[in-house]
Structure 1
Amino acid sequence: MLHSRIPFTGWSNERVLPMPTLKTDRIVLVLDTDPPAHRNKVEEVVKMMEIELGSGWILRQLCKVYLFISHHRIIGCLVAEPIKEAFRVVSSFFAGQSDIGKKRGTKSTTLQFGNIVFQREVKKRAVSASNSEVMELGGAVFCEDKAVAGVCGIRAIWVTPSNRRKQIAVHMLDAVRKSFCAGSALERTQLAFSQPTSAGKA
């Protein structure tokens, strides 16, 4: 049986990102051009992630991997990649549908990260929206048909079950914003996300 926390003794040449909000913990960046020992550790973490998120899609060439280290263990991982385009989530659609949950007896919740809004309906039902695209995985996310220029795509975010709801994913996202593009920090609205799981939305 795999343990949900992966031991990490550290590397002599690890790439630690400056995060003033972290006191004893740290975030380490790993690139696909790094030494084999670094990449092997990433693959070990990805195997753990695949248990919950599915296999064969999380990691690929040119990805940047952010490892959250606490007490000599890896307890979080974020995989980001350079992208050229993304699709905006249709927030105006949610605004116009705010009373649907009440009228139909369903309970709706929303999660907002910058200008990106996700909505989750507890009771699943077919929903249609003009000029939008629907993807189902524990709820629906509506996107515009027209692509916009993108810079950073978040392929996957994972935190060990015992360490969730502790702002670890937020710290990793902040690290991505500050380090993904050399010389400039990205805005939260410039991050594009893959389809989240229900745990990711929560």
Structure 2
Amino acid sequence: MQVYLFISSQRVAGCLVAEPIEEAFKIIPCLVDRRSDGATTKDSKLNSTTLRFGEIILQKETTKKVPSVNFLEVLDGNNNGAIICEEKAAPAICGIRAIWVTPSNRRKGIASQLLDAVRRSFCVGFTLQQSQIAFSPPTSVGKALASSYTGTTSFMVYKPNAMHS
């Protein structure tokens, strides 16, 4: 595990925790339609099996449009909803377990600079492509950051392993 700090005026303005991973799942955008009233609608009947790991819910679903998907849901009190992923894993090298920027320093590109630093230094002598990094299941703000940084709403996500003490 590697920790990156962004220091500004002798204070920590941002922090990123990265870890080695082997696989991640590509998000399937627009499978779930979120209405303005906060309700979620789905286009077809779903059969699901749910597994709960602390605050993360994994749910495998079958639909008529997509034969098989993984369902990652973040429960952070804001009801940010589900992240629906392709069932087949893809290779990935670096997992972004957490990224945080102080409220007064947000929207200044600090998170992107931290992500750039990870891509340049996570593997010695090799710069990672954006497709080789994945994010732990993000909140809505994290989704916006990941989409903006990668330039796609189909970025990669992974389920972090439990922290070892």
TM-score range, shorter chain: 0.5 to 0.7
Query: How many angstroms does 1:200 deviate by?
Result: 2.1
Residue 40 of structure 2, aligned match among 106, 117, 125 = 125
Identity rate, percent: 53
Determine helix, strand or coil for the equivalent of 1:141.
Answer: strand
Q: Does 1:136 align with 2:76?
A: no
Alignment of structure 1 residues 1-202 onto 2, 5 Å: 63-91=1-29, 94=30, 106-107=35-36, 123-125=38-40, 127=42, 129=63, 130=66, 131-137=68-74, 138-202=80-144
- d(CA) in 2 for partners of 1:169, 1:148: 24
Would you say the 8 A contact 1:76–1:159 is kept in 2?
yes
Determine helix, strand or coil for the equivalent of 1:184.
Answer: coil
Query: How many angstroms does 1:126 deviate by?
Result: 5.3
One-letter identity of the residue aligned with 2:38: K
One-letter identity of the residue aligned with 1:76: G
- d(CA) in 2 for partners of 1:135, 1:183: 33
- d(CA) in 1 for partners of 2:41, 2:73: 10
TM-score (norm 2): 0.63
Write out per-residue CA displacement over residues 111-140 of structure 1, whole angstroms, 9 at most, x where no aligned residue: xxxxxxxxxxx7242545531122223032
- RCO comparison, higher one (Cα < 8 Å, 6+): 2
Query: How many angstroms does 1:167 deviate by?
Result: 1.1
* Structure 1 moving runs of 4+ over 4 Å: none
Write out per-residue CA displacement over residues 47-88 of structure 1, whole angstroms, 9 at most, x where no aligned residue: xxxxxxxxxxxxxxxx10000000000010000001111112
Higher strand share: 2
Would you say the 8 A contact 1:124–1:139 is kept in 2?
no
Determine helix, strand or coil for the equivalent of 1:165.
Answer: coil
TM-score (norm 1): 0.52
- d(CA) in 1 for partners of 2:15, 2:24: 22
One-letter identity of the residue aligned with 2:2: K
Q: Which runs of 5+ in 1 are unaligned?
A: 1-62, 108-121
| Larger Rg belongs to | 1
